[in-house]
Structure 1
Amino acid sequence: MTLLSSILGFSAFGFGARCFQLGLQKRPIFDAPSGHLISTAAFGVLGYGAFYADKKQTALLAEKKKVLLERREKENLEWQATKGQGHAV
């Protein structure tokens, strides 16, 4: 997911949430546009943060996977060496 689509998606959700809120209160939906702007901007900032949180978590998971694969390979080599010594005796 790109940065722009994250920001726009969260902003659209914020706009929709604001419209739903006003609809529940039976108030005119487009009466006060400043509330829509604030809601859209706040959710856009959340989208920005979510994008970079996802990017950071993906990098951390890739690093962890690399470490685990290296450890597994090392353990497999040790097991093969131990298995070979058991048959030689």
Structure 2
Amino acid sequence: MALLSSVVGFSLFGLAARVGQLGIQKRNLFDNPGGHVIAMGVFGFAGYWAHRWDERAAVLIAEKRAQIAERRAGAAS
């Protein structure tokens, strides 16, 4: 579920960025819906990448904590 929320959250942020961009340019928001889809896709991919990066970081931290615990146990005995 966290993957879905990351992708959807980043996609909605991409949509908001696109709407904000068109608002600054004072262009019609509904002129080119393909641009909205592209922005949502790019930001959704960034959300997918961020989720995978977070999972990998959690694994690396767990491995490092196990190594530290192992060293402490070896030093204590």
Q: TM-score, normalised by structure 1?
A: 0.82
SS in 2 for 1:41: helix
Query: SS at 1:54's partner residue?
Result: helix
Question: Any unmatched runs of 5+ in structure 2?
Answer: none
Q: Which residue of 2 aligns with 1:42?
A: 42
Distance 2:73 2:13 in 1: 45
Taking only the aligned residue pairs, the percentage that are identical comes to 48
Deviations 1:20-72 (A, max 9, x none): 01111111122210100000011111111111111111001100010011101
Please state how far the C-alpha of 1:2 moved relative to its aligned partner: 1.0
Q: 1:44 corresponds to which letter in structure 2?
A: G
Using the size of structure 2 for normalisation, the TM-score is 0.93
Find out whether 1:22 has 2:22 as its counterpart: yes
* Number of residue equivalences: 77
Amino acid at match of 1:29: L
Tell me what 1:2 maps to. 2
Root-mean-square deviation (CA), in Å?
1.1
Q: How far has the Cα of 1:73 moved from its partner?
A: 1.6
- Structure number with greater Rg is 1
Higher relative contact order (CA 8 A, sep 6+): 2
